[in-house]
Amino acid sequence: MISMNKVSKHYGSFQVLADCTTQVQKGEVIVVCGPSGSGKSTLIKCVNGLEPFQSGEIIVNGVSVGDPKTNLSKLRSTVGMVFQNFELFPHMRIIDNLAIAQVKVLGRNPEQAREKGFKLLDRVGLRVQAEKYPGQLSGGQQQRVAIARALSMDPICMLFDEPTSALDPEMINEVLDVMTELAQEGMTMMCVTHEMGFARRVAHRVIFMDQGRIVEDDSKEAFFGNPRSERAQQFLAKILHH
Amino acid sequence: MAYNWNWGVFLQPTATGDDSTYLDWMFHGLQMTIGLSLSAWLIALLLGAVVGVLRTVPNRWLSGVATAYVEFFRNIPLLVQLFLWYFVMPELLPENLGNAFKQTNPIVQQFLSSMICLALFTSARVAEQVRSGINSLPPGQKNAGLALGFTLSQTYRHVMLPMAVRLIVPPLTSEFLNIFKNSAVCSTIGLLELAAQGRQLVDYTAQPYESFIAVTVAYLLLNVVVMSGMRWVEAHVRVPGYIGGK
In angstroms, how far is CA A134 from the centroid of its own chain?
A: 20
**Cα(B209)–Cα(A114) distance, integer angstroms:** 64
Q: Each residue of B7-55: pLDDT tens digit?
A: 988 888 887 777 889 999 999 999 999 999 999 999 999 999 999 999 9
A98 and A149 in contact (C-beta within 8 Å)? yes
Helix (H) or strand (E) holding B183: none
Contacts of B149 in chain A (CB under 8 A): 73-74, 76-78, 101, 105-106, 153
Mean of per-residue pLDDT scores for chain B: 93
**Identity at B227, one-letter amino acid code:** M
Angle at B112 between CA B179 and CA B165, to 5 degrees: 40
pLDDT at A27: 94
CB atoms within 10 A of CB B225: 12
**Cα(B195)–Cα(B29) distance, integer angstroms:** 7
- The Cα of A5 is separated from the nearest Cα of chain B by a number of Å equal to 22
This model of the complex carries an ipTM of 0.93
Residue ranges and CATH numbers for the domains of chain B are 20-237 (1.10.3720.10)
The DSSP call for residue A136 is G
**Cα(B29)–Cα(B94) distance, integer angstroms:** 33
Is A50 close to B146, i.e. CB distance below 8 A? yes
Average pLDDT, 10 consecutive residues per value, chain A (242 residues): 93 91 95 92 95 94 92 96 96 96 96 96 95 95 97 96 93 94 95 93 94 92 85 85 58
Q: pTM for the whole thing?
A: 0.89
**Cα(B9)–Cα(A234) distance, integer angstroms:** 91
Q: Each residue of B2-19: pLDDT tens digit?
A: 888 989 888 888 877 778
pLDDT at B17: 75
Is A101 close to B148, i.e. CB distance below 8 A? yes
DSSP lists the bridge partners of residue A55 as A8
Q: What is the mean pLDDT of residues B70-77?
A: 96
A235 or B111: which leads in pLDDT: B111
pLDDT at B244: 52
Is A90 close to B163, i.e. CB distance below 8 A? yes
B244 or B153: which leads in pLDDT: B153
- The Cα of A77 is separated from the nearest Cα of chain B by a number of Å equal to 4
Q: Which of A91, A105, A134 faces B162 most closely, judged by CB atoms?
A: A91
Q: Each residue of B119-170: pLDDT tens digit?
A: 999 999 999 999 999 999 998 999 999 999 999 999 999 999 999 999 999 9
B246: confidence class by pLDDT, cuts 50, 70, 90: very low
A181 and A26 in contact (C-beta within 8 Å)? no
**Cα(B179)–Cα(B214) distance, integer angstroms:** 20
- The Cα of B141 is separated from the nearest Cα of chain A by a number of Å equal to 6
A132 and A142 in contact (C-beta within 8 Å)? no
C-alpha closest to that of B151 among A101, A94, A152, A81: A101
Residues with Cβ within 8 Å of A237's Cβ and at least 6 positions away in sequence, in order, are none
